[in-house]
Amino acid sequence: MNIVTYPNDILTTRCQEFNFNFQPFDPYQVSQEMIHFCNDNKLVSLSANQIGHPYRMFVLLGSETFACFNPRVMMADGEEVLLDESCPSYPGVSVKIKRPTEVRLRFQTPSGGIDTKRFHGLSAKMVLHEMDHLEGIPFYNRANRYHRELALNKRNKLLKHSIKERKEHDRIIATGFSGVII
Ligand SMILES: [Zn+2]
């Protein structure tokens, strides 16, 4: 399993509903594979289009680990908190983003059953970051103009030196990055 990285149309195209009657992939198997991949690569969440499946599905890891199919945000509220985000599909970009800290999500489980969960703080932020993936929205588009331009200028400089870019991404992860890689 490999992570799709920007630029790639699958990252910037709205994902399709996962049809449980005509399953494009085995929902249990792919959920487990994605969870293992996250564990192996120290990721806390991952959406299906990041591994090449253009369907509305992501996995979340934490105190509880599970897969969400066809998720819908029923409520996003609470104090908005500014926090650095970084994403393996957009190497070299680390940017401050303000997001709500309370989210209620309705989704289908791998069996197709319907579930609803509430998320607080960091996990709410993870859910909203993954929802952006499913909409085909690069996460840094959520940042204000100042923070976005700062981050993209830095990324563009790194792209001119692609080897350095990888090193820079590793450096961000290894040192001083107090945000979340999602
Ligand atoms: Zn991401």
pLDDT in tens, 68-126: 999 999 999 998 999 999 999 998 899 999 999 999 999 999 999 999 999 999 999 99
Q: Which pLDDT belongs to residue 170?
A: 66
Query: How far is ligand 1, taken at its centre, from the CA of residue 89, in Å?
Result: 6
Number of domains in the chain: 1
Query: How far is ligand 1, taken at its centre, from the CA of residue 129, in Å?
Result: 6
- Dist CA 115 CA 50 (whole Å): 23
pLDDT in tens, 18-50: 999 999 999 999 999 999 999 999 999 999 999
What are the catalytic residues? 130
* Residue 71 is assigned to a structural domain of this protein: yes
* Residue 82 is assigned to a structural domain of this protein: yes
Query: How far is ligand 1, taken at its centre, from the CA of residue 95, in Å?
Result: 12
Q: Which pLDDT belongs to residue 128?
A: 97
Q: Are 95 and 147 in contact (CB under 8 A)?
A: yes
Q: Which pLDDT belongs to residue 179?
A: 72
Q: Which pLDDT belongs to residue 182?
A: 74
Cα 3 off chain centre by: 12
From the list 134, 97, 104, the residue with the least C-alpha distance to 119 is 104
Residues near ion ligand 1 (Cβ under 5 Å) = 87, 182
Q: Which pLDDT belongs to residue 171?
A: 66
Mean pLDDT score of the chain: 91
* Residue 1 is assigned to a structural domain of this protein: no
Please report, for the domain that includes residue 112, its CATH number: 3.90.45.10
Q: Which pLDDT belongs to residue 176?
A: 58
pLDDT in tens, 121-180: 999 999 999 999 999 999 999 999 999 999 988 888 877 776 565 666 666 666 656 677
Residues 6+ apart with CB under 8 A from 161: none
Q: Which pLDDT belongs to residue 166?
A: 61
From the list 152, 182, 158, the residue with the least C-alpha distance to 87 is 182
Query: How far is ligand 1, taken at its centre, from the CA of residue 88, in Å?
Result: 6
Within 10 A of 173 (CB to CB), how many other CB atoms are there? 14
Query: How far is ligand 1, taken at its centre, from the CA of residue 44, in Å?
Result: 10
Q: Which domain holds residue 88?
A: 9-181
Q: Are 129 and 84 in contact (CB under 8 A)?
A: no
Q: Which pLDDT belongs to residue 180?
A: 72
